Chain A
Amino acid sequence: MQTILSHTKMELTLFFRETLALLFTFIVPAVSFVVFGLMFKSNSYDGLDYFQAYIPSMIGIIIFTTAFFSMGLQVVIDREKGVYKRLSGTPLNQRAIFTATIIKGFFAIYVGAIEILLIAKFGFGSELTVHPFEFFVALTFCSITFFSIGFIVSSLAKRMQTALGIALIAMYPMMFLSGATLPLEALPEVLQKMSVFVPLTYVVNVLRDGWNGTLFTSGALVDLGVLLGILIVSTLIGTKFFRWNDR
């Protein structure tokens, strides 16, 4: 247990030294939230006000960037450098490394979410959700689902450049075709149809359900079902192809 704690502590220390991770987790979503808030805070989106719609959206972006950059990409970087190979020569087991990576992911997402909530509350004077438990459940479930996708990235990409390429290519549809930044109803019909193939669309919907207290209603079933399906398939793929060492 002490071993897992010290390894997790180190993972978190290293996370806070990664400029790219900090930029994508704490800077880009927060700045986007403020800029969009200043421009569109009086708009409504499909019956929701700006904060009801965009607090969950920005936190959805944090989930994506954490899973793809801080976890998926970072695992590939560490593996390519031989870190896991070196660690396999110590008594530290792979379960401990995996646990530390997951804890780092949750930590980044929860801290990023709190940052957005604080900006909404104290920057814009917005009311926060009256369904904190539902939102927490939605946030945690969506995070786990995206962690599993992050592990697919680290399973399929052998080199850092490949993983970075995958993350950057995924970033555009995730950001702009999921409803996380641009309202889906504002997009051309063809792009709206494409949004059903973007996993973050379902994360945004589920987070909004959690935020607005409709997570445990039949209206959330499809989104929850799709995410559960993604989680199962990703876990199966990750379990089959993921390697701690190069060969």
Chain B
Amino acid sequence: MNQNVIELNGIVKSYGNVKAVDGISLQVKKGEVLGIIGANGAGKSTTLEIMMGLRKPDAGSVKVLGKDLSVSGDEIKQQIGIQLQQTALYDRIKVKEALKLFSSYYEKNRDLSEIIATLGLKPYLNKYVKNLSGGWQQRTSLALALVNDPEIIFLDEPTTGLDPQARLELWACINQYRGEGKTIILSTHYMDEAQRYCDRIAIIKKGKLVACDAPNRLVESLVNTQGTMEDVYLQHAVEM
């Protein structure tokens, strides 16, 4: 439980003159659920995408599962699963086809029928992903993130845009994989989710990590002891 599966060391990433990530250092332990919160444009997605290996940092180092991401990226991608904000799939691909296609990319595969059953995708297997509701598209994305039975699962705003029931159902699925000891790193705008489901919460503001601790400790650290996670957000993540 104490083994670090992710180690970010002083990562910096700029887009033109905009510094999206400005010297973030962070460690994530095996089996941990880490939530990343922050305002729009704070650098949450860029930080996640650097950990996923989708973007190269301009400076700093990233170790995933003990290996340098810049050196062993291909090897690391075999052991991680990712879900992006957008469903990001071909327009005319069916759920079943997407699952089979993504499975074919990996050396190790989890039993697809088990993933389908867990996520309740069976009635939708022959439907085009783009024709599904937001909640089922997100479930399909989550299923694709699981096809290789990953050690680490990255979820970029997995519940954004979903109705409360769909959010609860998706979290029930995520929690099942958490129960297997998977490390889960996610970004979210929902403070109730962050507080209820995350072991630790990292708060990013203007590309910098301004706080990172267990939700209850972050709440306790407020001047107002009756505060909530939303107060934590307002104190740390928002420009007042």
List the interface of chain A (C-beta within 8 A of B).
Answer: 2-3, 6-7, 10, 13-14, 17-18, 77-78, 81-83, 85-86, 88-93, 245, 247
Contact = CB atoms under 8 A, between A and B. Distances in A.
B97 A91 contact: no
Contacts of A14: 90-93
B77 interface: yes
B84 A91 contact: no
Interface residues of B, number: 25
Contact of B77 (A6, A18, A89): A89
Contacts, number: 64
A85 B88 contact: yes
Interface in B39-84: 52-54, 74, 77-78, 80, 82, 84
A89 B84 CA distance: 10
B104 A83 contact: no
Contacts of A10: 90, 93, 97, 101
Contacts of A93: 74
Contacts of A83: 88-90
Given A81-B88, A82-B86, A89 B53 contact: yes
Contacts of B107: 91
Interface of B: 15, 52-54, 74, 77-78, 80, 82, 84, 86, 88-93, 97, 100-102, 104-107
A93 B75 CA distance: 12
A72 B91 CA distance: 16
A77 B52 contact: no
Contact of B105 (A17, A85, A90): A90
A25 to B, nearest CB: 16
A27 B90 CA distance: 24
Nearest to B130: A81
A78 B87 CA distance: 12
A89 B92 contact: no
A7 B101 contact: yes
Nearest to B82: A89
12 contacts: A3-B105, A6-B101, A7-B104, A10-B97, A17-B92, A81-B88, A81-B91, A86-B84, A88-B54, A89-B52, A90-B77, A93-B74
Given A90-B106, A91-B74, A247 B15 contact: yes
